[in-house]
Structure 1
């Protein structure tokens, strides 16, 4: 096993994606990292099959559905303290050849990098905006309210850094779907905030790393493909409210004062209303898709 690199992925009935994740990992690095599958309660048998098929993959049962950040924290605690880097990635990531070695090389160029992330491709080959600025109330609200109906609005563009050159650079935060984390940095901020069950835990981590003096570095010369959104697509009535709850928590934590209470109340009410609208829309779309497939 590698003495400097470990890989953590969180599984929840990941199906065929997990085998793709593990098989492509062998071409991503010359290292042979231990892979810890933090399982939040899979019922499809894929983590057990993967543990049997891949000698470097270990199944670690969390004992409950802890959410993404909580499961990652539990798995990272299982990694030997001497290992310098931990990769955290979704099980539906497909590694491109040399991608992890590319991130490790970038980590040497950026000794203060606490987190490094690749360019993430959608399954159709398009680029996902995985390197973004930390949202403030203005950009966050503008993106949330107008992102769907006016995709090129200035608040979304600023938040997603759409007008930034696709070059290696520091950013506010990186997508948690694929991160190379320096263990010392991750431990210095006590890992992910496990209060975030799903969504925004990566935004929070990037913000706290930056506040602690570490850098979040985007490395677009390195690429992976992420089949994102399949869980949200299956269960919008669960995933979308979780997203809005996390968005509220992120801003409420950063506006904690008594005099800011009216702001928090307005934020909570606005996000709750938006959640109901987008869930209803997603369920209608799913119903139409199901009807067309019959």
Structure 2
């Protein structure tokens, strides 16, 4: 049994594997650490390349693409380790990145997940969009990070180099306690991809666990390796999955008012896309609502089941304001400008 399994889910990502996997293997050469690539039905020769060039890497092959959620659930169910490190194939690690993460998990059994500082591979002086220095959400379910508010990404000048509790850790590089992952039921496979890590971390938080940011560990993330940020499909998944995670995890007293407010906010966004000539993006939001309502009864039943395992649903890491209003009307574009602890 390994102490830590670094698990990379791959789908036709041989170029990323050639670029980044050798460095992952090199920096993971530690006692009790193994590297596993779970392949989601690739047809680009990824698995053969790994076996020919990095035979110390274990491989798991699936017959088709089960998405981020289904692929990881299947992979992690067959791996026996204390900790899993869920790692995107387009992440470049740095020397010594693993030890601080392992030490943080070892110190407190109540920590379900932790993440490193995540910087942009193509702009290494800046934080990376999907994770930065730790994730949060506002009262309406909009995610943001220390180092990234909506579209504004900050330069890393050490302003967030403190260990702290966060609301969610990025799925690009997230160390998870295996027992907590399985106790929470793993990833929600209906999500397929996008926001599944926020949903998992929210369930961790509701179960009474902690999520930690560890600044002593740093990685560089390319980002957008599966779907680029300007893809209508990605927009659809983000809106649909965001609504689902609200229904599953919000406290009862906030659910109806939040969904009511979100409807008008999202329809406003759809109208802006339409008036800008981006009708495919406008339709992505409409389709997201249709898909959400189609599954709403299922998730209301699931919500009742999850309530039995919830110890706490009020978390200080949920911003009580509106990140959208603060960004566009108050011009607050950095995490420190939010005066988070005072709101």
Q: Report the TM-score, using the length of structure 1 for normalisation.
A: 0.77
User: Judging changes above 3 Å, is the alpha-carbon distance between structure 1 residues 211 and 252 closer, same or farther for their aligned structure 2 residues?
Assistant: closer
Question: Equivalents in 1 of 2:71, 2:42: separation in Å?
Answer: 13
Aligned mate of 2:107, from 103, 106, 109: 109
User: Judging changes above 3 Å, is the alpha-carbon distance between structure 1 residues 138 and 185 closer, same or farther for their aligned structure 2 residues?
Assistant: closer
Question: Equivalents in 1 of 2:10, 2:117: separation in Å?
Answer: 23
User: Judging changes above 3 Å, is the alpha-carbon distance between structure 1 residues 199 and 7 closer, same or farther for their aligned structure 2 residues?
Assistant: same
**Partner residue of 1:288?**
none
User: Judging changes above 3 Å, is the alpha-carbon distance between structure 1 residues 224 and 256 closer, same or farther for their aligned structure 2 residues?
Assistant: closer
Task: Tell me if 1:200 matches 2:195.
Answer: yes
Question: Equivalents in 1 of 2:219, 2:23: separation in Å?
Answer: 10
**Aligned 8 A contact 2:247 2:255 in 1:** no
User: Judging changes above 3 Å, is the alpha-carbon distance between structure 1 residues 37 and 140 closer, same or farther for their aligned structure 2 residues?
Assistant: closer
Across the aligned residues of Structure 1 and Structure 2, the Cα RMSD in angstroms comes to: 3.4
1:254 positional shift: 3.5
Q: Report the TM-score, using the length of structure 2 for normalisation.
A: 0.67
SS of 1:225's partner is strand
Aligned mate of 2:139, from 131, 136, 141: 136
Deviations 1:27-47 (A, max 9, x none): 323236333322223222223
User: 1:235-274, aligned counterparts within 5 Å?
Assistant: 236-254=231-249, 264=259, 267=262, 271=266, 274=269
User: Judging changes above 3 Å, is the alpha-carbon distance between structure 1 residues 168 and 255 closer, same or farther for their aligned structure 2 residues?
Assistant: closer
Equivalent pairs, count:
267
1:221 positional shift: 1.0
Question: Equivalents in 2 of 1:232, 1:90: separation in Å?
Answer: 13
SS of 1:84's partner is strand
1:58 positional shift: 2.9
Question: Equivalents in 1 of 2:92, 2:68: separation in Å?
Answer: 19
**Aligned 8 A contact 2:101 2:214 in 1:** yes
Aligned mate of 1:174, from 143, 165, 169: 169
**Aligned 8 A contact 1:170 1:216 in 2:** yes
Question: Equivalents in 2 of 1:251, 1:185: separation in Å?
Answer: 21
Unaligned stretches of 5+ in structure 1? 158-162, 285-294
Question: Equivalents in 2 of 1:197, 1:268: separation in Å?
Answer: 23
SS of 2:190's partner is coil
